Structure 1
Amino acid sequence: MTVGVPAFETTDTPEKNASRAVILLRHAATTGGEGRAIGRTPLPLSPEGLRQAAALCKVMRQCRPAALYASPASRARDTLGPLLDECTVHLIDDMDEIDMGQWDGRTFDSIRQREPEQYNRRGRDMAHFKIPGGETFADVQRRVMTAVRHMAQGPRPAVCITHAGCLRVVACTLTRTRLEDLMSFRFSHLHGLAMTGPSSALHLEKADVTLEDLPSLL
């Protein structure tokens, strides 16, 4: 799905394109998710998140990346909300947060109390435990890396607004970290990572990218 008006065209060669960054950022801050298992549950941006979104879009107007992408989740789209009537934002389903299935939107306290065995199993096998009706982080890794390579084949530099879970599996892939250790990577709102290189051999250009880093990367 695409929203907005046509994007600017690029005539970069494949070699030049590969030297430009693909940047993934976590969406702006939200409200209502504290203490809950949030995957596909929609959340509004908080007042701080709205300020973050405005600051990000100001940088995007100044730096004019060749492509903008977002998860279809409302919190990712709202992060680019000020730009939606100015430029194209491509919505990529595979960059959505992990599907938490029957746990989605519930409090972790209620899950721990009512399904203690499953709760503990997930803690022991974060990479491969599948919540009923949901998906594993191994599933997330496969779909997200496919989407990342697809974005890398398109116009660059590119920016994608996504989620903490997606950023964690990409960080594991690029640093060759075991997926079981994905929770060792932490991404605050509007923090992320930058990749360069050809789509078949992307490497980590910068970890913990912040809003202040974007002008030099774009």
Structure 2
Amino acid sequence: MIVLLRHAEAQGGQGRFIGGTDLPLSATGQAQAEALAAALAPARPRAVFASPLARAQATARPLAEALGLPVGTLPGLAEIDLGTWDGQPREAVRAADPAAYAARGRDFTHFRPPGGESFAQLQARALAALATLTTLAKETETAQVAAERSSRTPALPAPDIAPACAPGNAMAHFEPGAARFAASPPSGPVVAVTHAGVIRAVLCHALGMPLEHLFRLEPLHARATLLRPRPGGFTLLAFNLPPAAVAPLL
């Protein structure tokens, strides 16, 4: 299973286009991150990943530390790149370029702000990142089945098992301590801390919903989306779960 978390509340984003702009967590966000760690650690996640942006990393860190794991950084989980609009007040962008602002509202799927990316491009890279998470999730399930079988049979010498994430993996970057992560036994789900735009784009794919309707979905800060990988996509198991409700479902 994959647990997608929207990062905890960030400081200074109100009324602005916030994509790649790097914001710290607010005091409320820091408390939310600690609450997430306390709620999810008992489920013993197999791995903890995050977007490279500071608000996602700071949300993931308390959970990773509680588990003795590093935070694996996946660039594909980053929020949409809004180019020259990034960090600007929404009303200032509307006033400076009303035609472009209106064009975005007519075509959320393909519109690209100057120097930025479209939601179609975001969806493509987000799904590529989730392919990495899916591989880990499937390895976890396979290991769990093997463990259940071995518990019912005489013990045998353990074979050598290659690390789940080889150093040459171009999609995932691990901070120091990655060797300990690679050696840790598979256990619970794979957790990934990301952003509202990524979760919306992934859910549109999972639900077969046109990407132009992505803003009908409203991922909340520090809430969980549960996905089960299946051939060709994902099954949505839960959306916007509060931290305390997540662990019993894992």
Question: 2:110·2:119 contact (CA, 8 Å) conserved in 1?
Answer: yes
Match of 2:34 in 1: 54
Amino acid at match of 2:43: C
Between the aligned partners of 1:33 and 1:159, the Cα distance in structure 2 is: 25
Q: Tell me, what secondary structure is at the counterpart of 1:197?
A: strand
Residues 138-184 of structure 1 deviation map (CA, whole Å, 9 limit, x = unaligned) = 00110101111220111441110000000000111111111000000
Within 5 A, what are the aligned runs for 1:1-218? 21-83=1-63, 85=65, 86-155=68-137, 156=140, 157-198=189-230, 200-218=232-250
TM-score normalised according to structure 1 size: 0.86
| Pairwise CA distance, 1:62 | 2.1
Counterpart-to-counterpart distance in 2, 1:200 and 1:122:
29
Distance 1:179 1:185 in 2: 11
Is the contact made by 1:145 and 1:170 (CA closer than 8 Å) also made in structure 2? yes
Could you tell me whether the CA contact under 8 Å between 2:64 and 2:71 is conserved in 1? yes
Listed as ranges, the gaps of 5+ residues in structure 1 are 1-20
Between Structure 1 and Structure 2, whose CA radius of gyration is higher?
Answer: 2
Q: Which 4+ residue blocks in structure 1 deviate beyond 6 angstroms?
A: none
Task: Please say if residues 51 and 75 of structure 2, whose CA atoms lie closer than 8 Å, have aligned partners that are also in contact.
Answer: yes
SS at match of 2:203: helix
**Structure 2 CA distance, aligned partners of 1:208 and 1:83?**
18
Contact 1:196 1:204 in 2 (8 A): yes
Q: Contact 1:152–1:198 (CA<8 Å) still a contact in 2?
A: no
